Amino acid sequence: MDTHDNNQPHPATRPKPSKIYCLSIPILFLAISLSFFTKTSHYFGIQHLKSTLTSNPTYFQELLGFLYSNQNPTKTQQPNHISLPSHCVLWMAPFLSGGGYSSESWSYILALDENMNKTKFKLSIKQHGDLESLEFWEGLPQETKNLAVKLYQTECRVNETIVICHSEPGAWYPPLFQTMPCPPTDYENFNFVIGRTMFETDRVNAEHVKRCNRMDYVWVPTDFHVSTFVQSGVDPSKVVKVVQAVDVDFFDPLKYKPLDLVSTGNLVLGSRNKDLDSKAGFVFLSVFKWEYRKGWDVLLKAYLKEFSGIDGVALYLLTNPYHSDRNFGNKIVEFVEDTGIEEPVEGWAPIYVIDTHIAQVDLPRVYKAAHAFVLPSRGEGWGRPLVEAMSMSLPVIATNWSGPTEYLTEENSYPLQVDRMSKVMEGPFEGHLWAEPSIDKLQLLMRHVITNVAEANMRGRRAREDMIRRFSPHIVSGIVTDLIGNLLDRMI
């Protein structure tokens, strides 16, 4: 036989072009079908999630529960026949969505649940403000899921209910976008309606001021917000400071082993450092959604100007899209090229991106794997990752403006100086002002932290002590319970 016979199929068995074309049709159909079924499965998954939380599911929802029973092992709670108070607090928030308002709302609910035996009201929750996320729900601890089911099925009578609308004011009744309105009907139907919100700039826009003034009260997290809301025109008698809680028992460094960041992150700049792989180097961590407000550009400039490949450091960015695609590696490379930062002779200090979903139960392990946390944002409502990192005893470098001024001190962190204020250039808050953190001072602080490890660790330990003393669930639930109790006394 010649080589042609050895390497080519016999003409009788060789597929004809028309057959290849015909074969491509079912392959294309299969690809389209898989995409369709993926979207359909997500839809049915969301419907099953809703049926799990509903006390009276429809036949269709019961069928979905059967179909998804092996995928979501959450058990529906049977009604509790223990006598409950008649007065009710209906807390409406993006509980099933993930994000800042979601994590904040859960911090309150978990705090209140721990102390319900001391309250004069029962508690109910409803999804509001954002779309549900199966990924977020599935990553919640099982005890949190069980609590969600129980509280979703707690019924409230309208004339005995205080409603808390925990979201940005555009979601309040009547909402400016598609969502379950809060309150569910007009304001006069309930005993009290409270808005819980915050902003990251120096003011509140006119539409949101009007919506805040429709509320009986507006709870804001910091003195910074009390000032900006009142100066913007919100009735001072309605504005009340209610700090956030952070779950210091969940974010406890003694309970966790570090997550393997090297295998979790994608290297986008620099080269892998053997010292870091052997856990002998220094890891900076930042957690944020990819938007200009978060100051990722400030962080990259400071880090790349200060460090090189011989410094034994790495920067890990745990991020997710915000009105953008997920191509973070290219965004970082393009940013470095556009800004003209020169590569050091020793090479770039490595930057890793983690853009895969990290389940809530694994988040403390991410903090545990770092040596310091850094977030030079231009404005924060509160800064959930900051207080989580501080609860994990990490030294924190953060912009000393807006929400974080409520808890950053020279003793428990490294407050970052602001160079100037700048205008917001686009979006719904165009024309507002926010901070421009100092790149030079950030360089100095990052270098200081890696060369003064003992001092940095001491500040990290002090940070955890302050979180426990001021923002633990026990402390914050007492604040919220007292406020609600005062309202209940006025209802009697």
Residue 345 Rama label (left phi>0; alpha psi -120 to 50; beta): alpha
Task: Tell me the DSSP string of 224-280.
Answer: HHHHHHHHHT--GGGEEE-PPP--TTTS-GGG-PPP-HHHHSEEEES---HHHHTT-
Cβ-in-10-Å burial (0-12, 13-18, 19+) of 197 comes to buried
Dig out the tokens for 164 from the structure: 């808390």
**Same domain for 306 and 169:** no
Average pLDDT rounded to a whole number, residues 437-442:
98
Single-letter code of the amino acid located at 16 = K
Task: Tell me the DSSP string of 447-488.
Answer: HHHHH-HHHHHHHHHHHHHHHHHHHSHHHHHHHHHHHHHHHH
Measured distance CA(170)–CA(478) in Å, rounded: 29
Which of the four pLDDT bands, split at 50, 70 and 90, describes residue 136?
confident
With 70 as the cut, is the pLDDT of residue 73 above it? no
Within 10 A of 237 (CB to CB), how many other CB atoms are there?
8
Q: Is residue 21 part of a domain?
A: no
Main-chain phi, psi angles of 314, to 5 degrees: -145, 150
SS3 of residue 101 by DSSP: helix
Average pLDDT rounded to a whole number, residues 305-325:
89
SS3 of residue 208 by DSSP: helix
Residue 221 in contact with residue 241, Cβ under 8 Å?
A: yes
SS3 of residue 26 by DSSP: helix
Q: Is residue 478 part of a domain?
A: yes
**Same domain for 479 and 403:** no
**Same domain for 202 and 103:** yes
Average pLDDT rounded to a whole number, residues 248-269:
95
**Same domain for 118 and 261:** no
Q: Is residue 424 part of a domain?
A: yes
Which of the four pLDDT bands, split at 50, 70 and 90, describes residue 400?
very high
Q: What is the dihedral of CA 290, 294, 300, 306, to 10 degrees?
A: -160
Helix, strand, coil percent values for the chain (each to nearest 5): 45, 15, 40
Mean residue pLDDT of the chain comes to 86
**Same domain for 406 and 265:** yes
Single-letter code of the amino acid located at 163 = V
Residues 318-331: tens digit of each pLDDT = 998 766 667 898 99
**Same domain for 464 and 478:** no
Single-letter code of the amino acid located at 30 = L
Q: Is residue 24 part of a domain?
A: no
**Same domain for 206 and 152:** yes
Which domain CATH number covers 156? Answer: 3.40.50
Measured distance CA(456)–CA(444) in Å, rounded: 14
Tally of domains within the chain: 2
Which domain CATH number covers 447? Answer: 3.40.50.2000
**Same domain for 226 and 168:** yes
Q: Is residue 319 part of a domain?
A: yes
**Same domain for 374 and 272:** yes
With 90 as the cut, is the pLDDT of residue 369 above it? yes
Between β-strands 433-437 and 418-423, what pairing exists: parallel, antiparallel or unpaired?
antiparallel
Measured distance CA(250)–CA(239) in Å, rounded: 30
Dig out the tokens for 214 from the structure: 């429709």
Picking from 163, 167, 161, 157, the residue whose alpha carbon sits closest to that of residue 208 is: 167
At 22 the pLDDT is 44
Dig out the tokens for 121 from the structure: 């009201």
Single-letter code of the amino acid located at 90 = L
Give me the domain span that covers residue 328.
253-471
Q: Is residue 34 part of a domain?
A: no
**Same domain for 458 and 318:** yes
Residue 269 in contact with residue 332, Cβ under 8 Å?
A: yes
Picking from 175-189, 238-252, 405-419, which range would have the lowest pLDDT averaged per residue?
A: 175-189
Cβ-in-10-Å burial (0-12, 13-18, 19+) of 333 comes to middle
> CA 342: distance to chain centroid?
34
Average pLDDT rounded to a whole number, residues 412-421:
98
Q: Is residue 214 part of a domain?
A: yes
Residue 303 parent element (H or E): helix 296-306
Percent of the chain's residues with pLDDT above 70:
80
At 321 the pLDDT is 76
Which of the four pLDDT bands, split at 50, 70 and 90, describes residue 384?
very high
Q: Is residue 44 part of a domain?
A: no
Measured distance CA(323)–CA(319) in Å, rounded: 13
Residue 416 in contact with residue 404, Cβ under 8 Å?
A: no
Q: Where are the alpha helices (DSSP H) in 115-162?
A: 134-138, 142-152
At 54 the pLDDT is 65
Main-chain phi, psi angles of 489, to 5 degrees: -60, -30
Sign of the CA dihedral 128, 131, 134, 137?
negative
**Same domain for 220 and 115:** yes
For residue 433, the cross-strand partners are: 423
**Same domain for 164 and 68:** yes
With 80 as the cut, is the pLDDT of residue 24 above it? no
